[in-house]
Structure 1
Amino acid sequence: MEECACLCLVGSSQGCQCSSQKRQRPAETAAADGKQSPALPEKHLEADAAARCCAGSGGIASPMPTLHCSLQDLPVEMLVEIFASLPGTDLPSLALACTKFHHILHTDSIWRRRCREEFGACENLQNLEMMGVSYREVYAKLLHPYRHILGLWQLDTEGYRTLLNVVVDGLCITGWTFRPCLNAHVDRPMQFKPAFRIRLTERKSATVECMEGRISRPHSRHVHIQKNRLTLQCNKTDHLKDLPMRLRDEWGRVLVQEDRQRYDCLTYRRLYLPPSHPDDLIRPGLFQYNYDAFGLSIAMLSFHGKYARVTKVTGDFKPRLEIHLMHRIQLRDGEIFRSFNELSRVVQEIDEQQQQQQQQQEDGTEESEGHGWQSPAQPSVGESGAAASEEQPVPFVLPVDVHSFDQDYPRTCRMCFYGVETFTLPGFADPMRLPVVFILFDENHFGFIWLEAKYFFLFGRVQNTFQNVEAPSGQAFLEMLSNIQSRPL
């Protein structure tokens, strides 16, 4: 028997309703073959037909008749709904199947749904009608060709690194550059300004327009996309880095010194957000803090088993904070923060043990890296995520003589860990290593005390949402993170 090629309503009490179904009685079949067949009683024929059509309805099951149907027999409305649920990359091949499918795939509602579901394009029918552009053209000439440009990027060609967020903005693709804010609290949303946009013109071709420059804007700009690399080049010469050198005097007042440079070509590298796991202390992601004289900087919190890492992704300095989750500091109802000397003593003891362990690992006396010191009373790393939410908050005050730019910090905290900050100063080959105290306040705030400088930094979670920022694999994220630290300024 041949298999049925369409979705038919079979097995019901009414039998198959396929319009193409035609049955021939045995007598008619025999006559067509030129052979004589004994006539069967009419009631036997009716009983046989009823048994075949009522299979599965409680009677004696009999084989169903062969159905000859195809996908082309479905109503156009049903085909439109089916095609609209398929990925847009599969539709061109489907259009080659037959003329009917080719005409149906010109239905704009199909492509409007693909633009919305795959790229988040907003409904803007008025602009489409004014330009005489269809959603099929928006998908084929704009969104699909430039899909690799969407996401977060880190500037790679200047001393002061910043971020570029490329998103689908209505029926355009817009690149927004992060703009640091002076004297702003860490809970303030990130500020962006438009750098470029890609849109369809009246000629129905995509064009890249530069939104920067003081003399003529917008104007033409060239975009070159490679794997995890984006280059923007402009033929105008009035571009200025909007990053003046901002300095603070000893009383905290802001002094601004103009130090702008012209540029016409910028290179970016893709930035992925860290993956999240149930055992993480808090949800990883981007956080902002006041670190230098340029205003708010952006850092990334990520978890790596027994360690957490805070990596700076904007600014002109590259410190890296590594948090040892196995080295938890007892808060003692907040009493540990009342004496800076006592806090330093506890951290120094842990730091000495950590250095001894590292030396043993280098000498080959330890079995493997990561089996470090841990107090028997401390929870394992896997329990830290759940323990952080269940831990009762204790009062937090800055120790005496510890300074901070952010005085509006949380007054209670949940956990405290030993950490190490490493960075390399300009002109020095060897990195510096300084112990720090990592303080977890809540799901959206953490901080650390730089013991050497007696300074406190508060981090607040970035509230902005980003799309197309998931790493294709864990290895790809680790390679990106390593690349951030290895790139010279």
Structure 2
Amino acid sequence: MEECACLCGLGSSPGCPCGQKRQRTSETAVADGNQAQEEKHVEGDAAARCCPGSGGIPSPRPPPPPPHCSLQDLPVEMLVEIFACVPGTDLPSLALACTKFHRILHIDRIWRRRCREEFGVRENLPNLEMIGMSYREVYAKLFPYRHILGLWQLDTEHYRTLVNVAVDGLCITGWKYRPSLHTHVGGPIHFRPSFRIRLTKRKSAKVECLEGLDNRPHNRHIQIRKDRFTTQCKNTDHGTHLPRRLREEGGRVVEERQLYNWLTYRRLYLPLSHPDDLIRPGLFQYYYDAFHLKIAMLSFHGKYARVTKITGVSKKTLEIHLTRRIQLRDGEIFHNFDELSRVVQEMDEQVIGEQQQQQEDGTEESEGHGWQSPAQPSEGESGAAAAEEQPVPFVLPVGVRSIDQNYPATCRRCFYVVDTVTLPGFAYPRRFPGVFILFDENHFGFIWLELKYFFLYSRVQNTFQNVEAPSPQAFLEMLKNIQCMP
């Protein structure tokens, strides 16, 4: 058998299969070496990614940095929607940021929304394009009068009434409360225009008085402060005949040689609401007599609730003691006026005794009792429990009179209440104990035991803008100010 030459080290013959096999083996070895070298490089990279002491476990790659994006890169339409949500007082500073923002803030859609949300301007003002005026200019006209919008209490010679100042087209109108003979205690309250501030493009705002027998507009001067403003009107048929005297106004002495009508308006905020309140606080109206429909404000202050008279002559406040509840026993207590009076009289003696003890101990609460923040929860039973409580039948006790006989047939709860009345010309108030009756979310009543009289209070259905108190402390200060006698 012929031996292969490759075995003797002499080389291989051209047809020797061993030579071909050897060549293939060397090529495979070279490829395997390259693959091993690549694997070493891969292992080196993996080792570089491993944290020290991690046992060779590779750590994740750090995420790539986010792409740079600023507010200026957003589309114009999106910026318009964002800027329309920014308060108008901050938009001028935003316009100084860059040229793009400055151009965008000239878009009228932004200012139309600000006028609607901040001043209550209607969505589309009539004749705005005809007079060549933009919403941006309307906002600039309304801005100096932003403090005058909302509810006010007007003092006119010992009589108080309610005034709602609101935007009306291109005017600011002061609507004075004036009940009609056909007004129902549960219906909306009525207003009539008292003054108007006209906003024009080329002229400064013009103040017109709408009072008087002929209702002919005439000039009126207005001085605006944050929490009150005053107006004066020259020699009209509704003017107050003042004697010639010196009056100090605004730090300077003015000699009054003509007849003026001086009116003072005090700021009114609506009460803050809390989930634990018996019912939602707010404005309520009631009949004091057959011809006088009055407005009062219900607010909650911890252990007490207050009903503060807004309109009328005298200063009147109901203080409801929420911790002194009168048990109804299925409403039977209303059938016997003597029994009802006895229960209230016992509670009144206890309250007077506690107040005297607090005075002796020096622990009497300042400014009466219930001057806590309206935002604090009541220490009595919660409003949710009052809503779940089953109502009981209600009837007026025998001998108790009332103008409004259309009162609810059932009630939820009753509390001891003190009616404090201060008449003009009297230095000290008088107090009268009574019964506070909670009917439902929109009605409550008061029984004046001494006069054997019943008052039905019904919630005012009108809605008002710019009536939110900036803080609970601001509401308390307002409440004290409006109770001062004019």
1:206 corresponds in structure 2 to 205
2:243 corresponds in structure 1 to none
> Equivalences for 1:243-258 in 2 at 5 Å?
none
Q: Deviations over 1:293-340 (max 9, x none)?
A: 652100111111111111101001112111111111111111101111
1:375 corresponds in structure 2 to none
2:282 corresponds in structure 1 to 285
2:120 corresponds in structure 1 to 120
1:400 corresponds in structure 2 to 398
Change in CA separation of 1:306 and 1:79 when aligned onto 2, cut-off 3 Å? closer
2:316 corresponds in structure 1 to 319
In structure 1, the gaps of 5 or more residues are 1-58, 242-261, 373-379
Q: Distance in 2 between matches of 1:385 and 1:102?
A: 50
Task: Give aligned pairs, total.
Answer: 402
Q: TM-score normalized by structure 1?
A: 0.76
2:32 corresponds in structure 1 to none
- Coordinate RMSD, CA, aligned: 2.8
From 439, 442, 452, give the equivalent of 1:441: 439
Offset at residue 206 of structure 1 (A) = 2.7
* SS of residue in 1 equivalent to 2:350: helix
The percentage of counterpart residues that share the same residue type is 75
Change in CA separation of 1:365 and 1:200 when aligned onto 2, cut-off 3 Å? closer
| 8 Å CA contact retained: 1:131, 1:201 | no
Q: Distance in 2 between matches of 1:433 and 1:391?
A: 31
**Residue 180 (str. 1) matches residue 179 (str. 2):** yes
Q: Distance in 2 between matches of 1:177 and 1:149?
A: 14
| 8 Å CA contact retained: 2:176, 2:193 | yes
1:91 corresponds in structure 2 to 91
Q: Distance in 1 between matches of 2:66 and 2:135?
A: 44
1:10 corresponds in structure 2 to none
1:80 corresponds in structure 2 to 80
Offset at residue 65 of structure 1 (A) = 8.4
In structure 2, the gaps of 5 or more residues are 1-59, 241-258, 371-377
Q: Distance in 2 between matches of 1:427 and 1:62?
A: 80
Q: Deviations over 1:141-177 (max 9, x none)?
A: 22x1111111110013421100110112234322110
| 8 Å CA contact retained: 1:235, 1:264 | yes
Change in CA separation of 1:217 and 1:335 when aligned onto 2, cut-off 3 Å? same
Letter in 2 for 1:117: E
1:161 corresponds in structure 2 to 160
**Residue 133 (str. 1) matches residue 130 (str. 2):** no
Offset at residue 184 of structure 1 (A) = 3.8
| 8 Å CA contact retained: 1:232, 1:265 | yes
Letter in 1 for 2:112: R
Letter in 1 for 2:210: M
Q: TM-score normalized by structure 2?
A: 0.76
* SS of residue in 2 equivalent to 1:162: strand
Q: Distance in 2 between matches of 1:368 and 1:339?
A: 35
Change in CA separation of 1:296 and 1:88 when aligned onto 2, cut-off 3 Å? same
From 350, 355, 371, give the equivalent of 2:352: 355
Offset at residue 284 of structure 1 (A) = 0.9
| 8 Å CA contact retained: 2:125, 2:169 | no
| 8 Å CA contact retained: 2:221, 2:233 | yes
Change in CA separation of 1:136 and 1:346 when aligned onto 2, cut-off 3 Å? same
1:220 corresponds in structure 2 to 219
1:308 corresponds in structure 2 to 305
Offset at residue 428 of structure 1 (A) = 3.6
2:248 corresponds in structure 1 to none
Offset at residue 368 of structure 1 (A) = 7.6
Q: Distance in 2 between matches of 1:427 and 1:199?
A: 39
Change in CA separation of 1:152 and 1:74 when aligned onto 2, cut-off 3 Å? same
2:111 corresponds in structure 1 to 111
Offset at residue 215 of structure 1 (A) = 4.2
Offset at residue 265 of structure 1 (A) = 2.4
| 8 Å CA contact retained: 2:120, 2:166 | no
Q: Deviations over 1:199-232 (max 9, x none)?
A: 3225254322222234463333222111201112
Letter in 2 for 1:433: R
Offset at residue 71 of structure 1 (A) = 4.9
* SS of residue in 2 equivalent to 1:383: coil
Letter in 2 for 1:86: V
Letter in 1 for 2:324: H
Q: Distance in 1 between matches of 2:147 and 2:477?
A: 19
Offset at residue 119 of structure 1 (A) = 2.2
Letter in 1 for 2:317: R
